[in-house]
Every structure is written in structure tokens, then in C-alpha cells.
Amino acid sequence: MSEIRLVVALALTVLLGVTAPGRADTLADAAKTGEVTVPLAEVRRMDERIRELEAQREKEKAPPLPAAVQRFELDGRLLEDGVDLTAHVAIEVLARDSWVRVPLLRRSPLTELAALPEVTGGAFAVIGDQLAFVTRNPGSYEFDLSLVQRASRAANERRAELELPEAGLARARIAYDAGLFQLAAGDARGGPEGTVIFPQASHLKLAWQVRGTAAAEARKPVAKPEIDPYVALAHASSISTLEGRVVTRVRYDLRFAGQKSVAFEIPVGVTVERVYRNGSTIPFQLDGRRLAVDVVPVRAGDEAGTLELVLARAMGQFHLSGNLEWKLPSVSWPVHELYLDLYLPTVFAYQWRGGSLSPVETGPKDEFSYRIPQPGQRLSFHQVLLTTSAPDVDLDYAVALDGQYFRN
């Protein structure tokens, strides 16, 4: 045993009053000579006592549990073959300097994860049949998980079950189309716009019926508020070549119920080359400059769909300098937010001149059904709360001379 540990052990023994009788003279002599003789059994006993105190001190500093799920709240919508869910999760990690694994949900063969977020300081892992959040950094974490829980089927009956983590607050808010489904809600509260269901013993159980055609016609109409259709997000990407050809793709993320029609006013000089509805091409026909398209949700009972237009125009060749104008179609539905990304030849310098769209650093990630290369310099623009106006942007351009060298 080292001299330092022996001195500490002796000092602790004195402080705790466990020094054997008759040792006072020995300690007095040790103070004069700087040396002391202690039996090995005494040293071992003192070492064990030190270890006990250190373990007790560490135990007092440790949290009662490494982590806790504060909230696990689900927003879902019934579909014909399952339920589309978004889980809003809040976790508090208490342990320090150690890896913590927080179980989130048990993945059965009927559970399909649609999207996982990126969380700073943590990661997701599938361990066995469980999805878990893993981190070694204490603190608060909040994120959303997107998943689809497929249902077991028996004639018109549908059942879905999801095992959730132990959470301070756990509940689900389920919406559905009362014209298509009938929810067996039990003790749940609410209606088709949002029925609140509380898990029992960490299990969320849902049961519903798919209404048959005859039953749907015979039943009394279900009174519910009409959902005003709108475009949650529009994202346009426009690629220009030096020869002056411009190809523009515009994707509209739609929110509506049932079957609806949306109309577009196509700018002069622009042709419509393709139309995609929910990712698939469909035939179309223009009435002058007006394009009307019937839209349906991606899945029965859902309230979301997509529409994509592929447009083309001849802008004319670039000169040494000049002005460029873009004008996108106007939409008969309100548009909450719109982004436009321009991909332009890199030999020019560009300056925003005006228009309803204003510059931003970057737009959303490209998610177009019609894929083409996007060469050139990228400029991004943004606008919110459009009604029936056609969004536009104006640019000035000139040959970029910075860093260029010429010889006579």
C-alpha cells in the first residue's frame, strides 16, 4: 500500500474515533519520527471502510434513474389498412458520463417507421425489436417520429396495437373520415376531428370498421365542418441553360378532404409538359391558359396529396448583361409558403431586382417526381401567404469579371 493511502487511512481512523486504545503513545512517537507501524489487518479494515465511504458518496450523487420519458403524445389518422401516426416525444436524460438507452416503442412486423429526425447529441438504434434513443449527454431532448401501424383485418373490422414506453404523459389523438370509418372508441373522448385515447398498461389499442357502400348510403349523413383546401408548401426548381431554355418543376403539397379540383393560370410563353398527381403522371388538358386538375388524397381517409407541374419556356440567349424574369403559375387555392430555387449559368453575377419573392439562403430539399440535373449557380427565394397572385422574381445579370484575367 502506498504511503499516501496509509496516511489517509490513519487520518480517517483518527477522525472516526476507531483508533484502538493504547495507540496514543504510538501516534505521539510517530509524530516525532515520522514513522508508524500498523498491523496489516488494521490497514485492510481501514481500506475497506474507505471504499465503503467512496461508494456511498457516488451513490448519493447518482440520479434515481438514468433517463425518463416526459411526454409521448401521438397524432394519428385512420386509414383503410392502418393508422398514420406522428409521435411527439420529450425525454429528460439525468445520468452523466455514461451511455443511456431510452426505449421508445416496440416494433412489431406491422410497424413501419416513415421518418427519423436528426437529434444533436443523440442517435436512434434498433435493439432487438425495440427502437431506442441513445446518448451520453444529459439534458432535455424533444423530437417527432413518423410511423405507420398496419392493422390486422377481418372482413370490415380493423385492429391496431402499439406498445409505448413508460411516460409521464401518454395519449393519442386520432382523426378519421366518418364517411369511411367508424371508430370503436370505448372510453375515448371526441369525434372524427380528433378522438383522444389513453393507452392502457403502455398499450395503445385501436379498433374500427370500414363502412360498406350499402351502409354508407343508408346511414344518416355525418355532420362535420368542411375543410378548406390549401397548399401547405409549394417548391419550385428552375434550371436555365446558356441557350436560354428554362425547365421549371413545381411541387404542391396539398391539404384537403375527399376529392377536389385545383386550377392554375399558366403564364404566357410557358408550356406544360407533364403533370404528376401523388407521384404518378396523369393526362391533362388546358383551357386557354387555365389548367384544372382533380386531386385525391394519397391514401383513403387521409387529408394530404401532392401535385407536380413540369413547365418549359424559351427565354432567349444570355448576353453580356441584361435582365431575367420568372413568373410562376397562380393557384386557385391559398398557398401558405412558396420557395423558388434558380439554377443559373456560373459565368454571370446576379443581383435581385424585385418581385414578390425575396432572397433567402436556401430552400427545402428537392423532392420532385421528374428528375433532371441541376447544374449552375443556385439562388433561392421565398414568399408566404399567397392568394390568387402569380409569384415572380426579377434579376439583373452581368458577366462576372472578378478573378478573371485577359490578354491583349
Question: Is there a single domain that holds both residue 311 and residue 376?
Answer: yes
Of the candidates 161, 194, 218, which is a domain's last residue?
218
- Please state the pTM of the whole predicted model: 0.57
Question: Is there a single domain that holds both residue 331 and residue 284?
Answer: yes
pLDDT of residue 29: 62
Cα–Cα distance measured from residue 85 to residue 188, given in angstroms and rounded to the nearest whole number: 17
Could you tell me if 207 and 162 are in contact, meaning their C-beta atoms sit under 8 angstroms apart? no
Question: Is there a single domain that holds both residue 22 and residue 152?
Answer: no
Average pLDDT over residues 13-28: 51
Tell me whether residue 99 is in a domain: yes
* More confident site: 300 or 164: 164
Among candidate residues 7, 12, 66, the one with its CA nearest the CA of residue 36: 7
Tell me whether residue 225 is in a domain: no
pLDDT tens digits, one per residue of 334-360 = 999 999 999 998 888 898 998 999 999
pLDDT of residue 406: 39
Question: Is there a single domain that holds both residue 308 and residue 356?
Answer: yes
Tell me whether residue 224 is in a domain: no
Q: Is the pLDDT at 10 greater than 60, yes or no?
A: no
The cell for 282 is 396523369
DSSP secondary structure code for residue 94 in this structure: -
Question: Is there a single domain that holds both residue 175 and residue 79?
Answer: yes
Domain carrying residue 129: 67-218
pLDDT of residue 190: 66
Cell 398498461 found at: 201
Among candidate residues 375, 381, 311, the one with its CA nearest the CA of residue 340: 381
Cell 471504499 found at: 51
Among candidate residues 3, 64, 65, 59, the one with its CA nearest the CA of residue 35: 3
Tell me whether residue 213 is in a domain: yes
Tell me whether residue 326 is in a domain: yes
**Considering the chain, what percentage of its residues have pLDDT values greater than 90?**
32
At 283, is the secondary structure helix, strand, or coil? coil
Of the candidates 189, 218, 247, which is a domain's last residue?
218
Tell me whether residue 260 is in a domain: yes
Q: At 18, is the pLDDT very low, low, confident or very high (cuts 50, 70, 90)?
A: very low
Question: Is there a single domain that holds both residue 201 and residue 300?
Answer: no
* More confident site: 44 or 59: 44
Among candidate residues 229, 363, 374, 247, the one with its CA nearest the CA of residue 307: 229
pLDDT tens digits, one per residue of 223-253 = 455 678 999 999 999 998 877 789 999 999 9
When divided into structural domains, the chain yields a total of: 3
Question: Is there a single domain that holds both residue 235 and residue 319?
Answer: yes
Cα–Cα distance measured from residue 46 to residue 19, given in angstroms and rounded to the nearest whole number: 10
pLDDT of residue 321: 84
Q: At 218, is the pLDDT very low, low, confident or very high (cuts 50, 70, 90)?
A: very low
Q: Which residues, 6+ apart, have CB-to-CB distance to 161 below 8 Å?
A: 108, 149, 203, 204, 205, 206
CA angle at residue 80 from 190 to 159, to 5 degrees?
70
Question: Is there a single domain that holds both residue 182 and residue 328?
Answer: no
pLDDT of residue 245: 86
pLDDT of residue 19: 46
Q: Is the pLDDT at 264 greater than 90, yes or no?
A: yes
Q: At 292, is the pLDDT very low, low, confident or very high (cuts 50, 70, 90)?
A: very high
Tell me whether residue 248 is in a domain: yes
* More confident site: 233 or 10: 233
The cell for 172 is 393519442
pLDDT tens digits, one per residue of 109-140 = 889 888 888 899 999 998 888 899 999 999 99
Of the candidates 12, 33, 61, which is a domain's last residue?
61
Among candidate residues 272, 274, 236, 273, the one with its CA nearest the CA of residue 253: 236
What's the whole-number average pLDDT of the chain?
Answer: 82
Tell me whether residue 407 is in a domain: no
Check the CA dihedral 100-103-109-112 and report its sign. Answer: negative
Question: Is there a single domain that holds both residue 256 and residue 336?
Answer: yes
Cα–Cα distance measured from residue 237 to residue 341, given in angstroms and rounded to the nearest whole number: 5
- Identify the CATH number of the domain in which residue 267 sits: 2.60.40
Question: Is there a single domain that holds both residue 313 and residue 340?
Answer: yes
Question: Is there a single domain that holds both residue 108 and residue 49?
Answer: no
Question: Is there a single domain that holds both residue 173 and residue 82?
Answer: yes
CA angle at residue 87 from 158 to 298, to 5 degrees?
55
Average pLDDT over residues 317-335: 89
* More confident site: 67 or 185: 67
